[in-house]
Structures are given as C-alpha cells and as structure tokens.
Amino acid sequence: MNIVGLDELVFGVDDVQACCQYLTDYGLVPVDVSDEGGRFEGQDGTAVIIRHKDNAALPAPLPTASMLRQTVYGVDNQATLDAIRAELSTDREVVTGEDGSLSTVDNSGFALKFQITCRRAFTGKNEQINSPGFAPQRPVNEPGADDSYDIIPASLSHVVYFVPNIKEAESFYIDRLGFRVADRFTQLGPFLRPQGTLDHHSLFLIDTPPHMQGCEHFTFHLAGPNELLLAGKRFQDKGYETFWGPGRHIFGSNYFWYFNSPMGVHVEYDADMDLHDDSWTPREAMASADASQIFNFTLVKKWMPGGDPH
C-alpha cells in the first residue's frame, strides 16, 4: 500500500494557547488559529493540529493521559484508499468521511485517518559543505555561517508510540498496511517505514506497560545539521527546556534535538535521516545509550578565548 507518510497529528490539549505558542516558536506556520486551536504547518503542508481536549469533533481519547487524539497518514491516490478500506473493514469499523478520508483505530486503540496526501512540492534550503578532497559545494567568497534567515521545519517526519502489546501493534502495521521494518531494538520495538517513502521510519513502536500508552514524541525534518543546531539554539533561548540532545542517532543516522512541550510529548528537530528501499537488511541491537546515539552534546553559553575583559 502506497502510504507516503504522516500528514497530520491531532492533539486534544488542556492549554490551547500554550500549545499554539509553542508550535509557532518551534517554527511551524500558523493557519486558521483562534482561541479554539488551529493548524501548524511545515513547508510541505504537513501539520500538527491543536484542539481543546473537550472538542466534540475529536476522536475518543486513549484510556491514559495521552493528548494525541489522531494520527493522519497520507496516501498517493484513491486506489490506495480503497485498498486500505477493503483490508481494514474485514475486522474493524472504517468510517468514510465527507472528504473521502477513512477513520479507524489500530490494534492498540490509536485513532487513525487515511487521506489523499496534503503534501505539496516546495523548494527547501540545501546545506552546502566544503569538504577537503572534493569539489567545493559552496562558492568562493560565500560565507557558510548565516543566522539571519527564518527556519521553517520542512516536513512531518515521524511519530513514536508507547504500546502495551508490541506484537499486536507491529503486526497491524506490517501485515495489514505493508510497513517495512528498517531496524529494531531488541525487547523495545521496531522502526517502521511505509511503502510510499524511503525515510528510515515514519513510526517507531516502544513496548511499555498499559498505563504508559500514548505518544512519546514527534518530529519535523530540517534542512541539515547546521539548521537543526541553529533552530534548537533559538528555541532554547526562548525558554523551552531541552530533553535530549543535540546529538546524532545510529539507527536512522538523523541528527536530533528533543524538547519538552505542553502537549504531553517531547518534540524533536531532526535532520539528515537515512533513506532505505526494500533491498535494505534491517539491523537489530539491544537498546542502550551506546546503541542509540553516536554522540550527545549539551549546549553551553557562548564563549571567547581569553574571557570577558570586563
């Protein structure tokens, strides 16, 4: 099934204003935002949607405190929607919306929607690096250090679920929707890639007790490591608290920087994720700090050799 990736994540939250401000400061573009919430888009139109938790239009919440109310996947065309409907309606309710989208739940109770993708073409910023032994990517007399431009996250990258039954959760996405395992942490869970994307993963499942069920984090792609570090520095300077990073993962190879949020999840910036096709052989490792990241830094204040003479 040609599912191209995440289109939207929908949250039902306690503090609408704080969440809207957070996503704006994170760099997403507000669309139709009011006191009731709104849509916050990346450059390709993928988005996070904020509503108050009591909004009657939201899908039912999980039995835990999770604020994620719906995960929306984009597909390439109507034929793929028809195939998803035919497959999933054999053992669960699938509701067709007025816009032709399909709403259902997965094996763990997470609310899902499938729609013709909202993704649009865009021209991103290409980070150019001059590397010894190779032709220069950046022209002569063009400085590479530039902190003057606005950073808008490019595209909704992936979401991470805490699930109480990893085998049931995994079988739904692999056996029913055609996701592929990219890599796996033993006794923790798999990184899963839908067939319509080469991104290392759009979904990561983590085995947890039932009372922890919910969303651990989501992230948007940025142009590259320089943009990630600059965006993270700006975000931290606005008072948002770092949870993890900046660093670089091993599975997926993506640079990362995670922050706490008022949505009850961590929110990440990522950049430079691996791409895989069906010829890739998944790796497996025991979950550990050494297996998770090559390096993990802590941002400190700016400094100058010799110190401040005053």
Handedness of CA 198, 289, 282, 173 (dihedral sign): negative
* Rounded Cα distance, 149 and 184, in Å: 37
The more confident residue out of 1 and 241 is: 241
* Rounded Cα distance, 116 and 99, in Å: 10
Handedness of CA 282, 283, 284, 288 (dihedral sign): negative
pLDDT value of residue 303: 87
* Rounded Cα distance, 253 and 275, in Å: 10
pLDDT value of residue 94: 98
* Rounded Cα distance, 172 and 92, in Å: 12
* Rounded Cα distance, 49 and 11, in Å: 6
Residue 158: φ, ψ to 5°: -155, 165
Strand-pair category, 266-271 with 255-260: antiparallel
- pTM (2 decimals)? 0.96
The percent of residues in the chain predicted with pLDDT above 90, rounded, is 92
pLDDT tens-digit readout, 238-290: 999 999 999 999 999 999 999 999 999 999 999 999 999 999 999 999 999 99
**Burial (Cβ within 10 Å: 0-12, 13-18, ≥19) of residue 264:** middle
Residue 308 above 80 pLDDT? no
Nearest 5°: the CA angle 207, 180, 258 is 50
Q: Which residues contact 132 (CB under 8 A, 6 or more apart)?
A: none
Tell me the longest C-alpha to C-alpha distance in the chain. 74
Computed over every residue of the chain, the mean pLDDT equals 96
Average pLDDT of the segment spanning 176-204: 97
Average pLDDT of the segment spanning 90-100: 97
Q: Are 5 and 72 in contact (CB under 8 A)?
A: no
Q: Which residues contact 82 (CB under 8 A, 6 or more apart)?
A: none
The type of residue at 67 is: M
Residue 175 is given by DSSP the state: I
Peptide bond preceding 246 in cis form (omega within 30 of 0): yes
- DSSP secondary structure letters along 181-222: EEEEEETTEEEEE-TT--BS-SEEEEE--GGG-EEEEEEEE-
Residue 2 above 90 pLDDT? yes
CB atoms within 10 A of CB 209: 8
Nearest 5°: the CA angle 268, 46, 65 is 55
The percent of residues in the chain predicted with pLDDT above 70, rounded, is 99
Q: 115 in helix, strand or coil?
A: strand
Alpha-carbon radius of gyration of the chain: 20
Average pLDDT of the segment spanning 63-92: 97
Residue 310 above 80 pLDDT? no
Residue 309 above 90 pLDDT? no
pLDDT value of residue 1: 86
* Rounded Cα distance, 232 and 273, in Å: 17
| Range in 49-58, 203-212, 225-234, 301-310 with the lowest mean pLDDT | 301-310
CB atoms within 10 A of CB 216: 19
